[in-house]
Homo-oligomer: A and B are copies of this chain.
Amino acid sequence: MKIGDLARKTGLATSKIRFYERIGLLKTVDRRPNGYRTYPPQAVMILGLITTAQRAGFALDEIRVLLPSDLAHWDHTALMDALTRKVADIEALQARLAQSKIHLLHLIEDIQARPADMDCATNAHRVLTNIITEPPEDLTVTSDDIRLLDKTDRRQSVNSGPRKKAALP
């Protein structure tokens, strides 16, 4: 299979496929005498797997160390560990998001709750003081790998994306 075919079958740009090869993520590639890359049918599944893992929040580096060269032989322990850690990461992020949301909702309410006898400037000062004075919760997330919702997801939907790169730019 040539790179163009693989691109069509996976919905990924050829530049992305070459990039994955360059960073050592996609190793199942050979060369024809003319220099063209050639892929086994398996490559489709590998790329699908990479895409899925990415959408689940794994960085390419993480995927690289988890992906076995042979899809039938995984490092079971490392995989389960990684999955479990990723779930924990997501939960941490969820907690932080919930906090941010609460914070924003409080703020909205606070702004609207201006006492009738208070002018805007004074209200602004009141609200500002509240914001800054808010509890200094240290919700710092310590895990190193939260990359859910990267631009990838906003620009291009891999599963349902166009087979051919949209003609525009």
Contacts and interface: CB of A to CB of B under 8 A. Distances in A.
Contacts of A97: 90, 93-94, 97, 148
Given A96-B148, A104-B87, A149-B146, A138 B160 contact: yes
A28 interface: no
A121 B71 CA distance: 8
Given A105-B87, A128-B45, A148 B73 contact: no
Quick one: copies of this chain in the complex? 2
Interface stretch (A15-23, A29-37, A48-56): A48-56
B104 A100 contact: no
Contacts of A1: none
A12 to B, nearest CB: 14
A121 B84 contact: no
A83 B101 contact: no
A133 B58 CA distance: 19
A79 interface: yes
A114 to B, nearest CB: 10
Interface of A: 45, 48-49, 52, 55-57, 71-74, 76, 79-80, 83-84, 86-87, 90-91, 93-94, 96-98, 100-101, 103-105, 107-108, 111-112, 120-121, 124-125, 128, 131-132, 134, 136-138, 140-144, 146, 148-149, 153-154, 157, 159-160
Given A56-B103, A84-B108, A87-B104, 17 more contacts: A45-B128, A45-B132, A52-B131, A52-B134, A71-B125, A72-B120, A72-B124, A74-B120, A83-B104, A83-B108, A83-B111, A90-B101, A90-B104, A94-B101, A96-B149, A100-B148, A136-B159
